[in-house]
A and B are shown apart, each in its own frame.
Chain A
Amino acid sequence: MTALAITNATVPGRLAGVSLSLPRGKLVGLVGPNGSGKSTLLQLAAGILPPHGAVEWAGRPLAQIPALERGRCATWVPQDAQFEFGFTVRSVVGQGRYAHGDDARGVEEALASFDLLSLADRPVNQLSGGERARVLLARAVATAAPLQLWDEPLAALDPRHALETLRLAREISRRGATVLFSLHDLRAAHGLDLVVVLHELRLRACGAPDEVLTDALYLDIFGVRVVPAPGLSLELP
């Protein structure tokens, strides 16, 4: 079953004729150089940009899904957010349950998953960039939405939290959700189910990482050469 289908999406100057279909229960990486349209594609998929082209969630056209229900179907995490007001970490993560009638289910688990229990009563406008990123991710996970769209979730995280986030994303996808997230760490991309490659606002490739991320593609799109090296490799203990 399809979790997300985008047909011929064009946003003038930001995305050109992208069509894409992602199955359920997959962990999907979105890669591409700076300015290739990754954030735009994620926002379009999340229904945040005004519709250009057709977007379907689990086979339903976005236009047919009312606002509140959308909050249960899919969720989007921005690259970074500045918080003007001092809501506590717990109450911000609790906002993930807005579309569920603020029932607070899964909020404590989401806090624990992102190592936020010790920060739960701190105001969000006093957190560091990496802590903010974890709060946004925890809020998204608390929604329990089957389509998770994350914009560079790992960029601000330290190595341990980045690895834990990847592990959690993997777990969520095993339970049936599709997680589409943008990333720049191409080594991490090799461990995912699928990789979507954007280049100059167009979809360049979509498929299994080892088939898509070839040496030729690295050189062509990213302008880098692949050198096998016994470099540093990190994992959770």
Chain B
Amino acid sequence: MKARSPVSELALPLLVAALVVLAVLALGYGDLRLSPARVWAGLCHEDTLAATIVWQIRMPRVLVAMMVGAGLSASGLVMQAFFRNSLASPGLLGVSSGGAVGAVVAIALGWASSSLWTLPAAAIVGAFLATGAVLLLARHGASRERLLLAGVALNALLASITSYLLSQFTGPFEKNTQILFWLLGGLEDRTWEHVVIALPIVAAAALLWPLGRPMDLLSLGTREAQSLGVDVRSLRRRLLALATILTALATAVAGTVGFVGLVVPHIFRLLVGPEHRRLVPLSLVGGAAFVLACDLAGRAAGGLRLGVVTSLVGAPFFLWLLRRLP
């Protein structure tokens, strides 16, 4: 077998290092700037003020950013293998919008305040409905174009549902603001509650870890994979459930954040090739770093929301990809 290139050997350690650096920067950045040394003092509770800022205010946002990034990026990777389509991603297929509609319905009907878990549950239901719709449309081996056009239609439908709900709740200003938050994904005012809601992302990522090898075979053809010994039915069911839950949880804590699932797996596929045993860990860590960096950049640029930043980065990348594809 061919020796691994240095890029693929070093990619993961470098990424983990980058993630730590970004986390320290993000913990130090804000109205009160903290040096890395003070961030460390705060983490160790040696500096009371720094500890309060780091642990109470900034850490939840950093953790949520990392989990959202890992979740969306891994979800995109899975969808690309599942649909054998390198342009598939939670945003383009409408799964993110499905999760957002679920969350918005829960807020609009006042369920969201009843329990911590109502909102993520509603997001998961919405995301699964959207995934089901995509599957129906793609059942008979949809072409790349057909799958993406189905996503366009689904996104439009879901946007109209959200707009309707918004127009129905013009009165209660607070609800409206909450709903808008989910439409323009962001990480403002995230608390430890949100960290808890997003925590199952870590479990889903762990379940995804060993599926890299069979994903390789599936990504080159369902029937071929079956003939080579992959339990295709069970694998497809697990992958789709994981991708949907990852997107739903990310959407439940950060709203619709676009293009992460498209951009991150693609960058790593270009760097280390298409083998999923390497792409799964790289997409998880890389996604975390990407969203953390985007959030930091948005804050440094004077409070741009996360969803805006990822779209500013992702949309041109998507167009560039479209040009490269045959």
Q: Do B2 and A88 touch (CB < 8 A)?
A: yes
Question: Which of B43-51, B99-107, B215-223, B301-309 sits within the interface?
Answer: B215-223
**A-contact bits for B239-251, CB 8 A (1 contact / 0 none):** 0000000000000
B247-284 with Cβ < 8 A to chain A: 269, 273-275
- Known contacts A85-B86, A85-B274, A86-B274; decide if A48 and B223 are in contact (CB<8 Å): yes
Question: Which chain A positions have C-beta within 8 A of B188?
Answer: none
Which secondary structure dominates where chain B touches chain A?
Answer: loop
Given contacts A67-B230, A90-B1, A98-B217, contact A78 B224 (CB under 8 A): yes
| Residues in chain B near residue A116, CB distance under 8 A | none
The answer to whether B220 touches A85, judged by C-beta atoms less than 8 angstroms apart, is: yes
Distance of A92 Cα from B269 Cα, bound (Å) = 16
Whether A19 sits at the interface, judged by CB under 8 Å, is no
Question: By the criterion CB–CB under 8 Å, are A98 and B213 in contact?
Answer: yes
A76 touching B223 in the complex, CB below 8 Å, given contacts A71-B230, A87-B273, A90-B2: yes
Tell me whether A41 is interfacial, beta carbon within 8 Å.
no
What count of chain A residues pass the 8 Å CB interface test?
37
Q: How many chain B residues touch A (Cβ–Cβ < 8 Å)?
A: 26
Identity of the chain A residue whose Cβ is nearest the Cβ of B1 in the assembled complex: A104
- A124 and B85 alpha carbons, distance in the complex (Å): 15
Q: Please indicate which of the listed interface residues B229, B232, B273, B275 has the most CB atoms of chain A within 10 Å of its own CB.
A: B229
Tell me, in angstroms, the Cα distance from A173 to B273 when the chains sit together.
36
B227 within 8 A of A: yes
Q: If A81-B221, A121-B2 touch, does A75 touch B275 (CB 8 Å cutoff)?
A: no
Q: Is A222 an interface residue (CB 8 A)?
A: no
Q: Give chain A residues whose Cβ lies under 8 Å from the Cβ of B226.
A: 47-48, 67, 70
Residues of chain A contacted by B274 (CB below 8 angstroms): 85-87
- B-side contacts of A98, CB under 8 Å: 213-214, 217, 228-230
Q: Is A113 at the interface (CB under 8 A from chain B)?
A: no
In the complex, the answer to whether B220 meets A87 with C-beta atoms within 8 Å is yes
Q: Which residue of B lies closest to A125 (CB)?
A: B326
Name the B residues within 8 Å of A168 (CB-CB).
none
Given contacts A87-B275, A91-B275, contact A71 B219 (CB under 8 A): no
Q: Is A72 an interface residue (CB 8 A)?
A: yes
Q: Select A102's contact among B213, B221, B223, B227, beta carbons within 8 Å.
A: B213
A48 and B220 in contact, given A91-B275, A121-B2 (Cβ under 8 angstroms): no
Is A133 on the interface with B (CB-CB < 8 A)?
Answer: no
What is the 8 Å Cβ interface bit string for chain A, positions 32-52, against chain B (1 contact, 0 not)? 000000000001001110000
Contact with A along B193-236 (1 / 0, CB 8 A): 00000000000000000000110110111011011111110100
Determine if A87 and B216 form an interchain contact, defined as CB atoms under 8 angstroms apart: yes
- Contact yes or no, B213 A85, CB < 8 A: no
B175 part of interface (Cβ distance < 8 Å)? no
Contact A84 B219 (CB under 8 A): yes
How far does the alpha carbon of A98 sit from the alpha carbon of B273 in the complex, in Å?
A: 19
Interface residue B299 (Cβ < 8 Å from any Cβ of A): no
Residue B38 at the chain A interface, CB threshold 8 Å = no
| Residues on B with beta carbons closer than 8 Å to the beta carbon of A158 | none
CB nearest neighbor in A for B233: A67
CB closest chain-B residue, reference A143? B228
Chain A, Cβ-Cβ closest to B276: A85
Cβ-based interface call for A74 (8 A):
yes
- CB-nearest residue of chain A relative to B144? A84
Given that A48-B226, A84-B84, A88-B2 are contacting pairs, would A68 and B231 also be in contact in the complex, using a CB cutoff of 8 Å?
yes
Q: Is A69 an interface residue (CB 8 A)?
A: yes
Interface of chain A residues 143 through 185 with chain B (CB within 8 A): 143
In the complex, A124→B220 CA distance in Å? 10
B219: which A residues are within 8 A, CB to CB?
A: 84-85
Min Cβ gap A75→B in Å is: 5
Residues of A within 8 A of B229 (CB): 67-72, 98-99
Report which of B2, B85, B216, B228 forms a contact with A71, defined as CB distance below 8 A: B228
Contacts of A78 on B, CB cut-off 8 Å? 221, 223-224
**Sorted from nearest, which 7 A-B pairs have the closest CB atoms?**
A71-B229, A99-B229, A67-B231, A85-B274, A76-B227, A68-B229, A48-B223
Q: Could you name 29 residue pairs across A and B whose Cβ atoms are closer than 8 Å?
A: A43-B223, A48-B226, A66-B231, A67-B226, A67-B229, A67-B231, A68-B229, A68-B230, A70-B227, A70-B229, A71-B229, A74-B227, A75-B227, A75-B228, A76-B223, A76-B227, A81-B224, A85-B84, A85-B220, A85-B269, A87-B220, A88-B2, A88-B273, A95-B228, A98-B214, A98-B229, A99-B228, A124-B220, A139-B228
12 further A-B pairs in the complex, CB-CB below 8 A; given A48-B226, A67-B226, A84-B84: A66-B231, A67-B234, A68-B229, A68-B230, A72-B229, A75-B228, A76-B224, A78-B221, A81-B221, A87-B216, A94-B1, A99-B229
